[in-house]
Amino acid sequence: MSTAASSSAPLGAAEGAKSPGAPVPVTIVAHDVGSVGGMERQLAELAVGLHELGHPVTVIARKCVLTAGSGVSFHRVRGPSRPFLIAYPWFALAGSLALRRHRRGVVQSTGAIVLNRVDSVAVHCCHQVYTAKPGRPGLGYRLYGGAVGVVKRFSERLSVRRNSDAWFVCVSEGVSEEVRSCFPAVAAHVRTIHNGVDTTEFAPGAVPEAARALRAELGLAEEDLVAAFVGGDWEHKGLRNAIEALARAPGWHLAVVGRGQPRPYQQLAAQLGVAERISWLGVRSDVRPVYAVADAFVLPSSYETFSLVTFEAAACGLPVIASDVNGVRELITDGESGYLVEPSPAEIAQRLRGLAADPQLRARIGAAARESALRFRWEQMVRAHHELFEQLGARV
């Protein structure tokens, strides 16, 4: 494999240019590809999809989990994945060296994670706007979270200055507006390429046997209604509000999927008398059985960039009850394909009670959610990146 030009070379000047008539080689730099998480799954779909369109694809990452025979070339960046304040600068240095050595054709970095100049920056979150809440209580966690935020915001500003001629590809219109507002100097180079959803894999009735097994595992009767909550970072995803809403919506069971600190939420559930109506399912590599047993999807998040899980739930035909946040507002029409709500227990509970009282309403809104999700397919995301990379490849 050719050695790349130095990181100070002009955009598009890296070695590995495409042959005449062939799709341009693409190098994707990311922390992790293909593991659990919306961003990681999007990157896997992008890498494999670009290869299927004829692009020679190179991935530079800590971890890359793809199906056998994907044809994607992978160069591992060895190093820690946590804690952030060690893992992030480690990858910035090691990943930059790996990119300098292995870059081919057009280079896209996943956020501000390397020091090299690149052709495209995938923006899954604008850190000038979003500040994560600490996952655990205590002064130490708040101070650590504050330091993480400072590093992310500084790195993002440095990346924008370093790559002022690059394209900044945002996962939703909301994120694009945030980037344009925070970085007006590059506003003309901001575009939206929505993430996608596999509407074949995520579809009504896709995994009937697994759904029956999960319903039996949870001890649910056929008439029990289930609201699915899927995601990590529970404080900002709104799990507290979902639990408080459950106390006001009798007849509903809440299935919680994802990584978090369950103890304070379990204590809250016990105080509200709903502990027996909540199932803690942990991290699952396949969430389709959860959607299959569910009758609605609830995500009263304080901030999102795209929210892949919401699109998956909609593709499975579930009525969506979610905050009016980035990505979700581009999927859901309030009152038609779901409900855009304030992240308050009272409003969530009102919608849950309305859905419980009217099975035909659940079916109608779920079908509309499915139709809306069909507008966001992985193939469209891959094709849009292909067109962008071919334009950038013309500079080579």
How far is 376 from 169, CA to CA, in rounded Å?
16
- Domain definitions of the chain by residue range: 26-196+377-393, 208-373
> What is the pLDDT confidence band of residue 22, given thresholds at 50, 70 and 90?
confident
pLDDT at position 188 is: 96
Other Cβ atoms within 10 Å of 353 Cβ, number:
16
Structure tokens that stand for 52 in this block: 């299927």
DSSP assignment of 213-227: HHHHHHT--TT-EEE
> What is the pLDDT confidence band of residue 6, given thresholds at 50, 70 and 90?
very low
In this predicted structure, the answer to whether residue 13 has a pLDDT above a threshold of 60 is no
How far is 256 from 253, CA to CA, in rounded Å?
10
pLDDT at position 11 is: 34
For residues 48-74, give the mean pLDDT: 94
The answer to whether domain 26-196+377-393 and domain 208-373 are alike in fold is: yes
DSSP assignment of 85-129: HHHHHHHHHHHHHHHHHH--SEEEEESS--SS--SEEEES--TTT
**Strand (E) or helix (H) holding 157:** helix 139-162
Question: Is 47 in contact with 382 (CB distance < 8 Å)?
Answer: no
- Quick: pLDDT tens for 266-286: 999 999 999 999 999 999 989
Mean per-residue pLDDT of the chain: 90
> What is the pLDDT confidence band of residue 135, given thresholds at 50, 70 and 90?
low
Inter-axis angle of helices 84-102 and 139-162, nearest 10: 20
Judged by phi (left if over 0) then psi (alpha if -120 to 50, else beta), residue 66 lies in: beta
Asked which of 57-66, 126-135, 206-215, 357-366 is least confident by mean pLDDT, the reply is 126-135
How far is 208 from 280, CA to CA, in rounded Å?
21
pLDDT at position 37 is: 74
Question: Is 194 in contact with 306 (CB distance < 8 Å)?
Answer: yes
For residues 96-103, give the mean pLDDT: 96
Asked which of 14-18, 74-78, 109-113 is least confident by mean pLDDT, the reply is 14-18
In this predicted structure, the answer to whether residue 3 has a pLDDT above a threshold of 60 is no
- Quick: pLDDT tens for 293-333: 999 999 999 999 999 999 999 999 999 999 999 999 999 99
**Predicted TM-score (pTM) of this structure:** 0.85
Structure tokens that stand for 394 in this block: 């013309």
How far is 180 from 183, CA to CA, in rounded Å?
5
How far is 162 from 328, CA to CA, in rounded Å?
31
Angle 198-203-208 from CA coordinates, rounded to 5°:
130
For residues 124-139, give the mean pLDDT: 77
Topology, domain 26-196+377-393: Rossmann fold (3.40.50)
- Quick: pLDDT tens for 166-198: 999 999 999 999 999 999 999 999 999 999 999
For the domain covering 208-373, report its CATH number.
3.40.50.2000
Inter-axis angle of helices 262-272 and 239-246, nearest 10: 20
